[in-house]
Each structure stands twice: as structure tokens, then as C-alpha cells.
Amino acid sequence: MNQNELKKSLSKLPLGLGDVRYFDSIGSTNSEALAWSAGGAKDLSLVIADEQTAGRGRLDRKWFTPRGTALAFSLILRPSAKEKPHLTRIVGLAALAVADSLRTRGLVAQIKWPNDVLLDGRKVAGILVESVWSGVEVDYVVIGVGLNVLKGAVPSAELLQFPATSLEESLGPGVERGKVLRDILAGILALRPHIGTDSFIAAWEKMLAFRDEQVQVEGGSETPMTGKLLGLESDGSLKLSSEDGKSVTVRFGDVRLRRQA
């Protein structure tokens, strides 16, 4: 993808974006977007790169984006007063938009709470949401998305803690990155006005992987928590029912979800 192709795809978006910065290669699109935010970026400004050399996952984990194979972009939001109470739902906004873009291509995408999208139980996309605050007020939220489009984007198994796949593995050759990007952005724009609604949570919940299954949540150094995955709380936290029937809430943080072995 080059800048011209990108512009062509984005010109077909139903609603306008802010400014777009395109890079053939960059360290991390999220880092660039955070720096741009600090310099006063407009709402819906977009950073996109063909390759990331230091792509980031949560904490210090790496996200791999080899040249010419994947989508890696960061969308900058300046949340409105109405959106500010719902910041914890933004990861769901992005995950839903990615999952919807895959479902419209006939694929059964699911969301592995909190920040991954799966195809056939394997990770096809990861989302990293980061915020910039002025005191207690949020100024900016950066939504980073990495999506494996072609087979060449999928890292080798020894680099992974969870199996990975690409769109090409499901759809065959010919997937156009620009079109997928446009669909995801259109999805975010369309869902955004509904972020505070109950139907938004219901739609997110419907897409969750492992629903009604026994799962394990590994968190930092603590003993893993196990339980049946029931759904989401209204802030997007995960709702489990433990073996003794008690309801347990898993909050966002350094937690990793797995089907119980």
C-alpha cells in the first residue's frame, strides 16, 4: 500500500477523517499518534504504516508488522464530554469494528477479551488503546490496530503465546488492505455515537469468544482465576461465575484470557 492507494480507499469513507500521516516504515504507529496528540492533533487523525519496526502490544509486549503484509494504524480520538464516561468501552469499539469488518467478508470473527480478534480460535488482530491525560481529564485516546492480512504477517510460533492467523488464510489471495482499513474505520465511525448505549455492550458481548465456557484468567503474578464466562459488565469488564457459583468481575489490566485446559 502506498500513500495514493491509501487516499483512494479513505476518500470513500462515509464521514470525514482528520489528517492522515502515512509511513512506509515506522517504529510504532501508536507512539507517533501519542506524540501527534501532544502536539494538538485533530479528532479522527490517522497514522498508518506499511511496516512497524517496534510495534507494541500491552505492557512491553511486541506486535509484529512485517512490510507489505498487514494493517497497522492508530486513530486519534478527542473524546467528547458525552464519551468521557465510557473510555473503558473504546477497546470494545475497536474490537467490534474489526470483527464486523471480517464478518461482512463471511468470516466468523470473535473477540478474545479484552483486546484481540480471533478467526477460527487464532489471533488475527490486536488492539492497543492508550490515553493522554491532563490531570484527571482525558485529552486524547489513541486506538492502535494491528491486523494480519497476508500470511507473511503471521509471526513464527516460537514468538507467540497464542496461535495466530491471517485474513489470507481464510479468504485466499487477493485481500486488499485498503478496503479492509476503510471498512474498519467506517465501523468505528458508525459505532462511536452508540458507545454509551446498552445495545453497544450487547453487541460486544455477542462477539465474545469462549462465552458460557470455562476460562482461565492469568493476571501478573497472581494465581490464575477460573470460571464460566458469562459476559460483560457495563464498563466492559468481564463477568465470570466461579466454581462455587459466585459472580466475579475481571477488570482491565494485565490479564490474559484462555480457555481452561
| Residues of this chain that bind ligand ATP (CB under 6 A) | 57-58, 61-64, 115-116, 123, 126, 146, 148, 153-155, 160-162, 164, 256
Quote the least distance from Cβ 64 to ligand ATP, whole Å.
4
Smallest separation (angstroms) from ligand ATP to the CB of 60:
9
Compute the distance between CA of residue 116 and CA of residue 63 in angstroms, rounded to an integer. Answer: 12
The strand ranges marked E within 102-191 are 109-112, 116-119, 122-134, 137-148
Q: Among residues 21 and 258, whose Cβ is nearest to ligand ATP?
A: 258
3-state helix, strand, coil in the chain (%, to 5): 30, 30, 40
Q: Answer whether 178's CB lies under 8 Å from 9's CB.
A: yes
Q: Which is nearer to ligand ATP, 58 or 182 (CB)?
A: 58
Shortest CB 233 distance to ligand ATP, Å: 19
Minimum gap (Å) between residue 67 Cβ and ligand ATP: 13
Nearer to ligand ATP, 86 or 123 (CB): 123
Classify each residue of 198-213 as buried b or exposed e, where b means 16 or more C-beta atoms within 10 Å of its C-beta. Answer: eebbebbbebbbbeee
Return the number of the residue (37 or 115) whose C-beta is nearest ligand ATP: 115
Q: Which is nearer to ligand ATP, 92 or 146 (CB)?
A: 146
Residue 137 CA to its chain's centroid (Å): 23
Alpha helices by DSSP H, listed for the chain, are 3-11, 29-38, 90-103, 167-171, 177-191, 198-206
Contacts of 60-63 with C-beta under 8 Å, sequence gap 24+, read 62/159, 63/126, 63/128, 63/146
Report the DSSP pairing between strands 247-250 and 45-49. Answer: unpaired
Residue number with the shortest CB distance to ligand ATP?
A: 57
Question: Using CA of residue 169, residue 116, residue 135, residue 196, what is the dihedral sign?
Answer: positive
Smaller CB separation from ligand ATP, 30 or 148:
148
Least distance in angstroms from the C-beta of 255 to ligand ATP: 8
Least distance (Å) from ligand ATP to the CB of residue 30? Answer: 12
Identify which of residues 162 and 252 has a Cβ nearer to ligand ATP in the complex.
162
Minimum distance of ligand ATP from residue 256's CB (angstroms): 4
